[in-house]
């Protein structure tokens, strides 16, 4: 059996984080769950730890958090799973994400929320549209099939470490998808269900500022990686 580690970036998620960690552990798949907390002002770290996660810290920023999680991986880890800490991703789908990697047919398996069942209100129009637009552009550029920029994804550890990930904030997810395609990884997208966040407050899609900042960063990432 391959050794699986889960990385969860979490900022001020004290309400949902314990449940997310427990749901991940309940799948019986991960050897470790790493919660990357950067500067939460609430009890995110405490709740994550109580639920059974290893907690590491990093400077502010979604990409920095993910990168810090990767640096903290145990030496035995072979497959890395990423998901959000707000309870919106459904850990029960983790087996569908890792199975093709364990079987050896794929290196990168990404969930698509737009192809799965979405709880009403879990994704707004801009999120669905931007996932589709990114998918369209990446199909033209790299002939790959994506319909979302879902944070819920699994990747072979040695493949991830070769991608030379640079994005420090919300461009991280798109950068991984683009670099995976460019590197010729064997990519699979599968439908995953999506829920509303299980408490706490939105940092991105639920606020105008969050949407604007993340959107600008995602466009900048697209341009940088496409031209790079
Ligand atoms: N470590 C870390 N995590 C972050 C940062 N910004 C956001 N996150 C986490 O990244 C995930 C996505 O952020 P959300 O606020 O859920 O953004 P969203 O999914 O667009 O918005 P919702 O509709 O409210 O779910 C959550 O787990 C956040 O806690 C950050 O700067 N550092
Ligand atoms: Mg969310």
Average pLDDT over residues 50-63: 96
> 1 C-alpha vs ligand 1 centroid, how far in Å?
31
Residues 71 and 53: their CA atoms lie apart, in Å, by 16
State the ligand closest to the CA atom of 36: 1
Q: Mutate which of 17, 62, 173 to test ligand 1's pocket (most atoms within 8 Å of Cβ)?
A: 62
Q: Taking a C-beta distance cutoff of 8 angstroms, is the pair 87, 195 a contact?
A: yes
> 102 C-alpha vs ligand 2 centroid, how far in Å?
28
Q: Taking a C-beta distance cutoff of 8 angstroms, is the pair 34, 53 a contact?
A: yes
Average pLDDT over residues 57-77: 97
For residue 51, what pLDDT is reported? 98
> 197 C-alpha vs ligand 2 centroid, how far in Å?
6
What share of the chain in percent tops pLDDT 70?
A: 100
Q: How far is CA 29 from the centre of its chain?
A: 17
For residue 8, what pLDDT is reported? 98
> 84 C-alpha vs ligand 1 centroid, how far in Å?
7
Take atom 12 of ligand 1 and give the residue whose Cα is closest. 84
Question: Would you place residue 193 in the very low, low, confident or very high pLDDT band (cuts 50, 70, 90)?
Answer: very high
> 105 C-alpha vs ligand 1 centroid, how far in Å?
31
Q: Give residue-wise pLDDT tens across range 78-103.
A: 999 999 999 999 999 999 999 999 99
Q: How far is CA 139 from the centre of its chain?
A: 21
Q: 37 pLDDT exceeds 90?
A: yes
Ligand 1-lining residues (CB < 6 angstroms)? 9-11, 13, 36, 38, 60-62, 65, 84-86, 88, 197, 202-206
Q: 206 pLDDT exceeds 90?
A: no
Nearest in space to 167 (alpha carbons), one of 215, 225, 209, 211? 225
Q: Mutate which of 6, 11, 174, 207 to test ligand 1's pocket (most atoms within 8 Å of Cβ)?
A: 11
Cβ of 209: how many Cβ atoms within 10 Å? Answer: 9
Q: Give residue-wise pLDDT tens across range 154-187.
A: 999 999 999 999 999 999 999 999 999 999 999 9
Threshold 0.95, pTM exceeds:
yes
* Ion ligand 2 neighbours, Cβ < 5 Å: 84, 86, 88
> 85 C-alpha vs ligand 1 centroid, how far in Å?
7
For residue 1, what pLDDT is reported? 80
SS3 letters across the chain: CCCEEEEEEECCCCCCHHHHHHHHHHCCCEEEEEEEECCCCCCHHHHHHHCCCEEEECCCCHHHHHHHHHHCCCCCCCEEEECCCCCCECHHHHHHHHHHHHHCCCCEEEEECCCCCECCCCCCHHHHHHHHHHHHHHHHHHCCCCCCCCCCEEEEHHHHHHCCCCCCCCCHHHHHHHHHHHCCCCEEEEECCECCCCCCCCCCCCCHHHHHHHHHHHHHHHHHHHHC
Q: 55 pLDDT exceeds 90?
A: yes
């Amino acid at each position: 059996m391959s050794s699986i580690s889960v990385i969860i970036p979490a900022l001020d998620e004290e309400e949902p984080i314990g449940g997310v960690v427990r749901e991940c552990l309940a799948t019986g798949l991960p050897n470790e769950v790493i919660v990357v907390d950067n500067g939460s002002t609430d009890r995110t770290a405490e709740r994550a730890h109580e639920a059974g996660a290893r907690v590491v810290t990093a400077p502010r920023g979604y990409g920095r958090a993910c990168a810090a999680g990767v640096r903290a991986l145990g030496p035995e880890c072979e497959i890395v799973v990423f998901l959000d800490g707000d309870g919106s991703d459904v850990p029960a789908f983790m087996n569908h994400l890792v199975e093709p990697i364990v079987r050896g047919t794929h290196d990168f398996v990404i969930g698509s929320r737009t192809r799965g069942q979405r709880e009403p209100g879990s994704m707004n129009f801009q999120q669905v549209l931007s996932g589709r637009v990114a998918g369209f552009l990446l199909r033209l550029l790299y002939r790959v099939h994506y319909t979302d920029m879902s944070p819920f994804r699994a990747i072979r550890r040695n493949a991830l470490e070769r991608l030379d990930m640079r994005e420090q904030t919300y461009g991280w997810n798109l950068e991984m998808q683009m670099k995976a395609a460019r590197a010729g990884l064997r990519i699979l997208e599968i439908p995953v269900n999506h829920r509303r966040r299980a408490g706490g407050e939105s940092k991105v899609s639920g606020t105008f500022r969050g949407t604007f900042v993340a959107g600008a960063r995602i466009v900048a990432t697209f341009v940088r990686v496409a031209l790079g």
